[in-house]
A and B are shown apart, each in its own frame.
Chain A
Amino acid sequence: MTTGTDRFAPGDRVRTRATDPAGHTRLPRYARGAVGVVVERAGTHPLADDRARGLTRDAQPVWHVRFAAADLFGGGDHTVTVELWDDYLTPVEDT
């Protein structure tokens, strides 16, 4: 499913956008500014934030990103997998 032009691959660590946009977004508040791991690519879709504003832009990859609950909520032993558009994510360099 992954193409050579993708920014991410399964196993990559990514950080989500931390800002609070003025309008519609599909980046849930609890998952902002958090680091997770890419699980897989789930197709390409136009960014929901743009569609809600009536903007037409090219589709972009959508990723399943898995977070440790402790990294989202400061506790918990479970994981939460969220489906996120490419625009919401930046790569995290391994140190």
Chain B
Amino acid sequence: MSGDHGSTLISAQVRHVETLLEARGLLDAGEVDTRIDEVLAGGTPANGARIVARAWVDPGFAERLLADANATIREVGLSMAGGLQEQRLKVVANTEDEHNVVVCTLCSCYPIALLGPSPGWYKSEAYRSRVVRDPRGVLAEFGVQLPATTSVAVWDASAESRYMVLPRRPDGTADLAEDELAALVTRKGLIGTAAV
């Protein structure tokens, strides 16, 4: 059930079905694109970065975030309810002892609202098949060298939950304001393939 979804045959089949649904009045013209636009609207890694920065400056927020991410991100005006139904969000925190990394081995599931559209490598068979088997090797290729004393936890988004990594706050950032901290956070950091 895995594989790339962009083949010409599949695309042609999808367009054909879309046309038939429109002809039978089951779908308005352009409705699929409109729905996709709605899901993507406002989806950017700046949202995830804002959550991370708040967690770094507010330990209470961080604690609530790890316990109930869906409720807690509403405190900063964000939500996982942008699609057809609210998706469960699970935030996993990196520590000195454990590093987390997210994958969807079956396709490319991912919290678009908080991270924006997923990068090409996230959808590649190479990343999806290799990171579950050899995460240290894959992370090293991304430039993340973990000490042997740091364990690695891989999270496979195989069902309905979506995952986001809470990176560790970098050293030497004690004087930075919350928005300056948010600017340090990258999409890779939120997936776990970068330190921040």
A: residues with CB less than 8 A from B are: 24-28, 30-31, 42-43, 45, 48, 62, 64, 66, 69, 72-73, 76-85
Q: Chain B residues with Cβ under 8 A from A45's Cβ? A: 159-160
Known: A24-B1, A76-B134. A85 touches B159 (CB 8 A): yes
**B95 at interface, CB cutoff 8 A:** no
B: residues with CB less than 8 A from A are: 1, 88, 90, 105-106, 132-136, 151-161
Contact A83 B105 (CB under 8 A): no
Q: Chain A residues with Cβ under 8 A from B90's Cβ? A: 42, 64
Q: Chain A residues with Cβ under 8 A from B155's Cβ? A: 80-81
Residue of B with least CB distance to A82: B156
Contact B156 A78 (CB under 8 A): no
Q: Chain A residues with Cβ under 8 A from B160's Cβ? A: 42-43, 45, 62, 83
Contact A84 B153 (CB under 8 A): no
Q: CB within 8 A of A28: which of B106, B134, B161?
A: B106
Contact A78 B158 (CB under 8 A): no
Q: Chain A residues with Cβ under 8 A from B156's Cβ? A: 28, 31, 80-83
Residue of A with least CB distance to B68: A1
Contact B88 A43 (CB under 8 A): yes
Contact A78 B152 (CB under 8 A): yes
Distance, CA A26 to CA B133, complexed state (A): 18
Distance, CA A85 to CA B88, complexed state (A): 15
In the assembled complex, the CB of B71 is this many whole angstroms from the nearest CB of chain A, namely 13
